[in-house]
Structure 1
């Protein structure tokens, strides 16, 4: 499965009655697709997977698949309690997804053998291949990823932990297993800040929550990154991403909350976030508006 471009994680819009707003979701995905993402990941972290029922997640994936219409791969989230993860995986397959992103299990931390079993159980639940998400209570050792790389249904690794040394060893271990088809993603929050380092260890792809909120600026950064235009990349980094990260770090969960707020400020009424996340205060929202304005001015 080939990913050629920035990875797009859409939000899940909610209407005034806290239901998934299907029409607005299709509009959100459709307009953002115009900026050329390399893959779309619905009902994942930015899409509030943690707060969606199985039926809601399936609805989000189905509407995304229909909107994307085969232009790029669609990778749906699956994780949490194992029974729920299996149900969501099967529903995503029925909805037409191309692959699954295996999110961490619910609450418990298991040994490496248990994490391997968790991934393999989700992979076995449908015909879809899976991408391993390395973060929180699901951090995979080099040996665990070497083992999983022997399973042809495991096709990728997304790093959300930020340990560059371990990531480098995992890249090498997978290569030693003969997997030249494996996709590696930088999945850290606001990955634009760290992607230069990740590219240096053989991880060329990154996800961008900012792409869901302000795709024109995120795409400009991606073009500069691909072209090796460091002056332009650093201009966007200093003028937009650094102040965005400073605001994001003020409150847990703002990696999602700010994205939905930015969309609302841009005229797309996607609603607020579901608990346990919270929306920004009026003062924080005002600062986000200033950051967005500054980002657009750089274009």
Structure 2
């Protein structure tokens, strides 16, 4: 694999102004702060990036701001929100591609109403989508809504054989062993990334890196985990990793990462930390004094 690809990707928040509109300046400043550490990005994710609350024009805007700010330094990729048809997923992917995004993450289809999809319906989705995208893509393997909708290792290998624009697979819900087996099955032709809590173990067994929402708050620590882990400095990697996991362990009770990320950024006075979110999220999520205490006990991010 191309080792110029970073070992860490941050799932970026989306900053808003007090009136709820996009905050272009805060978005650029937030992206610039993270890119300076060498971490790449996934912009507009359905979770941390509040993508389902954004219009097509707003998705285009945050993609373009991020590419303009950081695209010459690190990969700036897109997480278009889950769609319910291949055509809709393709439309969302095209917004990112036209904005200059380096790669587009492809989620599983959102079947809606708790529907159980058949294997043939799943195949229609992937073939109908990947067959039309002439751009680098990554596949996202998340916790499935229904078990028979999840891609197996054999499924991923078959998709890669048909679509050589697949450059990465991000596996969030499975074990390190699954990711190792997938790497071996793909023979090192595709970058394999896991979740932040498995970062050290994954890199020790030769996987490519990890995705992290924690990097919105502690980008320098996340970057140190990635660099030290890749360089074999386990002591340095472990020291930074412990701090990242200590932070996560104390804030994850607030639930999805958009909540604790924006709460921490507000406590630190950083761009994107004005406490504004879009429905269905409702601010505040927790006590600012409490999260300040958490940040102080771990050590505040560099430059704050």
TM-score (norm 2): 0.84
Structure 1 263/126 Cα, relative in aligned 2: closer, same or farther at 3 Å?
A: same
Give how far 1:73 is off: 2.1
Q: Structure 1 CA distance, aligned partners of 2:26 and 2:227?
A: 28
Structure 1 216/152 Cα, relative in aligned 2: closer, same or farther at 3 Å?
A: same
Structure 1 223/166 Cα, relative in aligned 2: closer, same or farther at 3 Å?
A: closer
Report the more deviating stretch, 74-83 or 88-97. 74-83
Structure 1 56/274 Cα, relative in aligned 2: closer, same or farther at 3 Å?
A: same
Structure 1 223/73 Cα, relative in aligned 2: closer, same or farther at 3 Å?
A: closer
Unaligned runs of 5+ in 1: none
Query: 1:89, 1:125 within 8 Å by CA — same for their partners in 2?
Result: no
| Counterpart pick for 2:184 among 172, 178, 182 | 172
Question: What do residues 26-71 of structure 1 show as CA deviations (whole Å, max 9, x unaligned)?
Answer: 111122211112x221112421223222221111111111112422
Q: Structure 2 CA distance, aligned partners of 1:142 and 1:158?
A: 13
TM-score (norm 1): 0.85
Q: Structure 1 CA distance, aligned partners of 2:301 and 2:68?
A: 34
Q: Structure 1 CA distance, aligned partners of 2:286 and 2:48?
A: 21
Count, aligned residues: 287
Q: Which has the higher contact order (CA 8 A, sep 6+)?
A: 2
Structure 1 160/276 Cα, relative in aligned 2: closer, same or farther at 3 Å?
A: farther
Structure 1 166/232 Cα, relative in aligned 2: closer, same or farther at 3 Å?
A: closer
Partner of 2:139: 132
| Counterpart pick for 1:149 among 143, 146, 160 | 160
Q: Structure 1 CA distance, aligned partners of 2:191 and 2:119?
A: 21
| Counterpart pick for 2:59 among 52, 57, 60 | 57
Root-mean-square deviation over aligned CA pairs: 2.5
Q: Structure 2 CA distance, aligned partners of 1:231 and 1:243?
A: 16
